[in-house]
Copies of this chain bind each other. A is one copy, B any other.
Amino acid sequence: MSFFASVIGKSNVLQEESELSGLNEDWMGKYQGNSRLALRPKSTDQVSKILAYCNEKCIAVVPQGGNTGLVGGSVPVHDEVILSMSRMNEIRSFDPVSGVLVVDAGAILHNVDEYLVERDHIFPLDLGAKGSCHVGGNVATNAGGIRFLRYGSLHGNVLGLEVVLANGQVLNALSTLRKDNTGYDVKQIFIGSEGSLGVITGLSVLCPPRPKSVNVVFLAVPSFEKCQEILTAARQRLGEILSAYEFLDELAFQTVLNIHHGRVHSPLPYGASSPFYILFETHGSNAEHDKAKVDGFLDYLVESNLITDGVVSQDETQAKSLWFIRESVPESISRAGKVYKYDISIPVSKMYDIVLDMRKRLAHLPQTQVSGYGHLGDSNLHLNVVEPTYTAETLHLIEPYVYEWTASVGGSISAEHGIGVMKPNHLHYSKSPVAISMMQSIKAFLDPKGILNPYKVLPL
């Protein structure tokens, strides 16, 4: 302990149960570790010294960002040392001409986005956990979020990374250039590596200009087929301004209204219940043009009988309240009971079938409820099963069925949440033996002693 105290100061070496309990457990209460030590470095150099020491002594380390993950990747499994990135939260630089931001890994996404909005830019990623999650954690998990459709993957938007390797060496690949083809793009391997190959301490990101005009539209749709038809039409008619296309089923929607009883109401004028709801958003540079496109599109939807009800946000407050409904789904469902969460990529046409199949499969368990929602525009479904307490029986009815089902349609068993401690043994459903073997080789040369986030990502 005296070594760690000498590097980061005594007050940043946490050993009290009261200080550790929140860091040992994930926010869903599903994963629970037993670490006796958490460290809070303030600089890359401190992270480097900590890892060099831990590597020498073979001490296991779990890097922890905002601890908002969904697969147990950021909490210890046993007594790993928790490396909290929360004090590394400075903006390092921002260039308004190129839109390139350089920032510490532990900065909170919401704070970074606020900083950028003041400078007429936005972060290329947005998600429900933005008030807590760290941008470094977003990169480590290759987060997707709600505007992936428009701004694309972090593999494209992250221009550079600073990473401390297991042995304490600092990889400075913090390029701020949009184009740099000088040899292998080594930073890419850390994007989505979930803290198992190195600790991301800094990142440079290409940030798009802040849209001058934003429209948010909430629709009631009578069938999943029509949700797909609307998506195809939106791609054609809204084109380059479409920035999000999300769906909720009736159960997900009602859960939000029930949990927030009296405080959240259906935004739809007719208010009748509907099997499906779509939220779509546009980001554009010309309010008049965008409004013309959105109005024309809505006229088309009404004439084609694709929707039964709809509302367009009239101001920023209303836009936020529409987004609140979509973004509150995960938290509302988890307040309704214990949740088995699955995050899968499936071709759009088959996306809702797994929800219907799962309902049939669990029909004899009256206390379970199955809902589906997510990023329809990216073929990304969030399948949630909720029941009063976690039971082995239900788990075995769901797994590996859901993974087999997903593999059978060429889907991915983890669209955006990652593998963590939840899915290493299911990796083979989506990755070939050669790919898994390559992953193991990469782990072996970057972290030969296996100190970084053990028991995660790779099958044992």
**Cα–Cα distance between A418 and B392 once the two chains are bound (Å):** 53
**Any chain B CB within 8 A of the CB of A188?**
yes
Residue of B nearest to A206 (CB): B152
Instruction: Output the least CB separation between A324 and chain B (Å).
Output: 24
- Contact at A419–B181, with CB atoms within 8 Å? yes
Name A189's contact: one of B173, B188, B209 (CB within 8 Å). B188
Q: Which of A188-241 contact B (CB under 8 A)?
A: 188-189, 191-193, 197, 209, 211-212, 232, 235-241
Provide the A361-386 mask, 1 if CB < 8 A to any CB of B, else 0.
00000000000000100111000000
**Any chain B CB within 8 A of the CB of A178?**
yes
**Cα–Cα distance between A126 and B239 once the two chains are bound (Å):** 20
Question: A263-271, A352-360, A405-413: which lies at the B interface?
Answer: A405-413
Instruction: Output the least CB separation between A44 and chain B (Å).
Output: 13
Task: Say whether, besides A172-B435, A183-B458, A178 and B148 are in contact (CB < 8 Å).
Answer: yes
Counting contact residues on chain A (CB < 8 A from B), the size range is 35 or more
Name A411's contact: one of B157, B173, B177, B197 (CB within 8 Å). B177
Residue of B nearest to A445 (CB): B441
Copies in the complex: 2
**Any chain B CB within 8 A of the CB of A18?**
no
Contacts of A441 in B (CB 8 A): 445
**Any chain B CB within 8 A of the CB of A58?**
no
**Cα–Cα distance between A170 and B434 once the two chains are bound (Å):** 7
Contacts of A336 in B (CB 8 A): none
Contacts of A192 in B (CB 8 A): 181, 183-185
Q: Which of A400-448 contact B (CB under 8 A)?
A: 410-419, 423, 427, 430-432, 434-436, 438-439, 441-442, 445-446
**Cα–Cα distance between A180 and B435 once the two chains are bound (Å):** 13
- Contact at B293–A171, with CB atoms within 8 Å? no
- Contact at B157–A414, with CB atoms within 8 Å? no
- Contact at A181–B293, with CB atoms within 8 Å? no
Name A239's contact: one of B142, B155, B284 (CB within 8 Å). B284
- Contact at B457–A412, with CB atoms within 8 Å? no
**Cα–Cα distance between A416 and B183 once the two chains are bound (Å):** 11
**Cα–Cα distance between A156 and B439 once the two chains are bound (Å):** 20
Residue of B nearest to A120 (CB): B236
Q: Which of A141-165 contact B (CB under 8 A)?
A: 141-142, 144, 148, 152-153, 155-157, 165
Q: Which of A321-360 contact B (CB under 8 A)?
A: 345, 347-349
- Contact at B380–A179, with CB atoms within 8 Å? yes
Task: Say whether, besides A178-B345, A189-B188, A212 and B239 are in contact (CB < 8 Å).
Answer: yes
- Contact at A171–B415, with CB atoms within 8 Å? no
Residue of B nearest to A428 (CB): B182
Residue of B nearest to A411 (CB): B177
Provide the A288-301 mask, 1 if CB < 8 A to any CB of B, else 0.
01001100000000
**Cα–Cα distance between A155 and B181 once the two chains are bound (Å):** 12
Q: Of A185, A241, A416, A427, which is in contact with the most chain B CB atoms at under 10 Å from its CB?
A: A185
Instruction: Output the least CB separation between A281 and chain B (Å).
Output: 13
Q: List 6 A-B contacts (CB under 8 A).
A: A153-B155, A172-B434, A179-B380, A181-B419, A289-B289, A442-B442
A contacts, CB < 8 Å to B? 97-98, 141-142, 144, 148, 152-153, 155-157, 165, 169-173, 175-186, 188-189, 191-193, 197, 209, 211-212, 232, 235-241, 283-286, 289, 292-293, 345, 347-349, 375, 378-380, 410-419, 423, 427, 430-432, 434-436, 438-439, 441-442, 445-446, 457-458
> Contacts A179-B416, A184-B438, A286-B289 given; 5 further ones with Cβ under 8 A?
A153-B156, A171-B438, A179-B378, A181-B419, A185-B191
